């Protein structure tokens, strides 16, 4: 499309056509200097599709123009939180609240950040007040539930040994395996370090703080782009020890496993990223491919519909829809069945 005004971008954004917005803004060479309003919409679209690293420099450049706008500061804070820059996110949320102290969304997002920072009492006060003011505010209730669970997890009180109503020893998730059983069953094999990757890793300083770990995560993503997949996985492991359950770490590991043709591992990492964060078009479309390769067409269609609902303008949507239809024709409506062991899908030369 030909870009004529920020109003067109705003319409695309309101209709959830984020990739179309991104393509149009980039084609028009939108920058914070040439058109701050359009650049803000571009940053918001990048955030919406999970490209937090691309949104960050735009938001930084836009701050002088929109530093007194609460919605902008909230967006910048949310993006910083997704990048693991928690202290910066806290400062930005505080500034947004000084401007718009009654905003439900900003207060709820601030509480969510406080939970990440371990400031649980402050988060509880905010969330309880939000629910008092808006009893049907489901996001605030979800955050309060997360906080309550974290409080219980960190409590020194042990779970009583007596019977608990609704708690059965027959529940499959309670049938935990001992370490010896895991070793005997060969479920968890110790990883064998790749010598080339190990030599590269030894030249990288140990990440002992969040900033260094985030830099190493960027290095891991570059390693994937440079086809150093074993090195990328070892960097992800190192970053995970500092950042913990940080969704982009699992995204990066998924990309590395995918390129190594380790499809099950790639799918599992991608599902963990979604569970920790949220569905994005890229995550959903990759899951379409994984489910399709296994022959689980109904699940693949679910992920495709989810991707379309998130961004109907995604440039790969129609191609993946076409590929899925070919897969449907190939399996000839054969119903999907769970087997005792999932074998690695065979990838044809045309798919590589």
Per-residue pLDDT, averaged over 308-327, amounts to 84
Q: Are residues 140 and 81 in the same domain?
A: yes
- For the stretch 239-274, pLDDT in tens is 898 888 888 999 999 999 999 988 889 999 999 999
Is 312 a residue whose pLDDT tops 70?
yes
Domain count within the chain = 2
Do the beta carbons of residue 135 and residue 152 sit within 8 Å? no
d(CA 97, CA 77): 11
What is the pLDDT confidence band of residue 76, given thresholds at 50, 70 and 90? very high
CATH code assigned at 255: 1.25.40.10
- For the stretch 6-51, pLDDT in tens is 888 888 888 888 888 998 998 889 999 989 999 999 999 998 888 8
Name the helix (H) or strand (E) containing 59: helix 52-66
Token pair, residue 61, equals 């450049």
What is the pLDDT confidence band of residue 281, given thresholds at 50, 70 and 90? confident
d(CA 216, CA 214): 5
d(CA 339, CA 122): 48
For residue 184, being part of any structural domain is answered with no
Rg of the chain on CA atoms, in Å: 23
The confidence score (pLDDT) of residue 250 equals 94
CA distances from 68 to 104, 242, 330 (A): 18, 34, 57
The confidence score (pLDDT) of residue 215 equals 84
d(CA 297, CA 305): 12
Do the beta carbons of residue 124 and residue 89 sit within 8 Å? no
For residue 62, being part of any structural domain is answered with yes
- Segment 313-318 long-range contacts (CB within 8 Å, at least 24 positions apart): 313/12, 313/17, 313/18, 313/19, 313/20, 313/21, 314/18, 314/19, 314/281, 314/285, 315/19, 315/23, 316/285, 317/281, 317/285
Do the beta carbons of residue 96 and residue 78 sit within 8 Å? no
Q: Are residues 252 and 149 in the same domain?
A: no
DSSP class per residue in 263-292:
HHHHHHHHHHHHHHS---HHHHHHHHHHHH
d(CA 105, CA 134): 12
Q: Are residues 143 and 201 in the same domain?
A: no
- For the stretch 228-242, pLDDT in tens is 989 999 999 998 988
Q: Are residues 33 and 148 in the same domain?
A: yes
For residue 246, being part of any structural domain is answered with yes
The confidence score (pLDDT) of residue 346 equals 56
The confidence score (pLDDT) of residue 127 equals 92
For residue 170, being part of any structural domain is answered with no
For residue 188, being part of any structural domain is answered with no
The domain boundary, picked from 153, 171, 203, lies at 153
d(CA 193, CA 219): 18
Per-residue pLDDT, averaged over 94-110, amounts to 92
- For the stretch 324-333, pLDDT in tens is 888 888 776 6
Q: Are residues 24 and 135 in the same domain?
A: yes
For residue 80, being part of any structural domain is answered with yes
Return the axis-axis angle of helices 120-133 and 138-154, rounded to nearest 10°.
150
For residue 175, being part of any structural domain is answered with no
Q: Are residues 129 and 254 in the same domain?
A: no
- For the chain, give the percent of residues with pLDDT over 90: 28
d(CA 159, CA 298): 40
The residue segments making up the domain with residue 220 are 195-334
pTM, 2 dp: 0.59
d(CA 333, CA 321): 16
Sequence-distant (6+) residues with CB within 8 A of 30 are 3, 38, 39, 42
Q: Are residues 38 and 125 in the same domain?
A: yes
Please tell me the least confidently modeled range out of 94-108, 160-174, 316-330: 160-174
d(CA 212, CA 338): 43
DSSP class per residue in 101-148:
TT-HHHHHHHHHHHHHTT-HHHHHHHHHHHHHH-TT-HHHHHHHHHHH
CA distances from 325 to 160, 290, 297, 351 (A): 53, 14, 9, 15
Residue 211 in 3-state DSSP? Answer: helix
């Amino acid at each position: 499309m030909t870009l004529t005004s920020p109003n067109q971008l705003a319409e695309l954004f309101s209709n959830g056509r984020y990739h179309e917005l991104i393509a149009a803004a980039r084609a028009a060479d939108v920058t914070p200097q040439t058109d701050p309003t359009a650049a803000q919409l571009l940053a918001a679209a990048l955030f919406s599709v999970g490209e937090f690293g691309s949104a960050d420099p735009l938001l930084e450049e836009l701050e002088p123009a929109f530093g007194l706008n609460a919605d902008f500061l909230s967006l910048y804070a949310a993006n910083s939180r997704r990048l693991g820059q928690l202290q910066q996110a806290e400062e930005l949320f505080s500034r947004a609240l000084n401007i718009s102290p009654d905003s439900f969304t900003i207060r709820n997002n601030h509480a969510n950040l406080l939970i990440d920072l371990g400031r649980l009492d402050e988060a509880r006060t905010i969330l309880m007040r939000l629910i008092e003011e808006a009893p049907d505010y489901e996001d605030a209730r979800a955050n309060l539930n997360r906080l309550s669970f974290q409080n219980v997890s960190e409590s020194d009180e042990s779970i009583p040994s007596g019977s608990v109503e609704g708690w059965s020893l027959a529940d499959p998730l309670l049938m935990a395996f001992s370490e010896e059983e895991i070793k005997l069953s060969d479920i968890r094999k110790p990883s064998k370090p790749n010598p080339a990757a190990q030599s590269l890793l030894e030249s990288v300083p140990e990440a002992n703080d969040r900033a260094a770990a985030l830099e190493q995560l960027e290095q891991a993503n570059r390693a994937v782009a440079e086809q150093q997949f074993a090195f990328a996985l070892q960097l992800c492991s190192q970053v995970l020890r500092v950042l913990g359950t940080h969704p982009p770490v699992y995204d990066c590991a998924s990309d590395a496993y995918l390129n190594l043709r380790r499809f099950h591992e790639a799918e599992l990492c991608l599902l963990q990223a979604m569970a920790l964060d949220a569905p994005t078009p890229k995550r959903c479309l990759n899951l379409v491919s994984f489910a399709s390769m296994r022959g689980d067409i109904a699940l693949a269609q679910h992920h495709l519909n989810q991707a379309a609902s998130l961004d109907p303008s995604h440039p790969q949507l129609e191609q993946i829809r076409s590929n899925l239809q070919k897969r449907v024709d190939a399996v000839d409506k054969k119903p999907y069945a769970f087997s005792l062991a999932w074998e690695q899908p065979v990838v044809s030369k045309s798919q590589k």
